[in-house]
Amino acid sequence: GAVVSQHPSWVICKSGTSVKIECRSLDFQATTMFWYRQFPKQSLMLMATSNEGSKATYEQGVEKDKFLINHASLTLSTLTVTSAHPEDSSFYICSAPGDSSYNEQFFGPGTRLTVL
């Protein structure tokens, strides 16, 4: 199956700093990628849809100025958490639909963000 990578796998940062997370589709192109957030013992909540060549669309309640998304190419989307606070500590996972007719979603391994 298709492979999606994320970098870094974990990051610890100080409150007030910005953190960038990369999501790459390794063997296929993705015009759309999705970013999810998962708090401990909770399910995955969709944050935003990243669109190559256009602005991301954000789910209700997600601050677009805080979570900056850039879909720089057909294989790369980045999520930047700006001015991170401890409440932003979470597990961030990206996904991309494969290019087969099944349109299966392929997920990255996730990035665990801890804000001190």
Partner 1 sequence: KQEVTQIPAALSVPEGENLVLNCSFTDSAIYNLQWFRQDPGKGLTSLLLIQSSQREQTSGRLNASLDKSSGRSTLYIAASQPGDSATYLCAARANQAGTALIFGKGTTLSVSS
Q: Of residues 43, 61, 65, 87, which one binds partner 1 by CB under 8 A?
A: 43
Based on C-alpha coordinates, what's the Rg of the chain?
Answer: 13
Does the footprint of partner 1 cover residue 93 (CB under 8 A)? yes
Q: Among residue numbers 68 through 87, which ones bind partner 1 (CB under 8 A)?
A: none
Maximum C-alpha span of the chain: 44
- What is the C-alpha to C-alpha distance for residues 108 and 67, in angstroms, rounded to an integer? 18
Does the footprint of partner 1 cover residue 46 (CB under 8 A)? yes
CB of 46 to partner 1, least distance (A): 5
Asked if residue 98 lies in contact with residue 28, where contact means CB atoms within 8 angstroms, the answer is: yes
Does the footprint of partner 1 cover residue 1 (CB under 8 A)? yes
Residue at 63: amino acid letter: E
- Looking at the chain, how many residues does it have? 116
CB of 81 to partner 1, least distance (A): 18
Q: What angle do CA 89, 17, 52 make, to 5 degrees?
A: 80
Does the footprint of partner 1 cover residue 89 (CB under 8 A)? no
Query: What are the residues binding partner 1 (CB under 8 A)?
Result: 1, 32, 34, 36, 42-46, 49, 51, 93, 95, 97, 102-110, 112
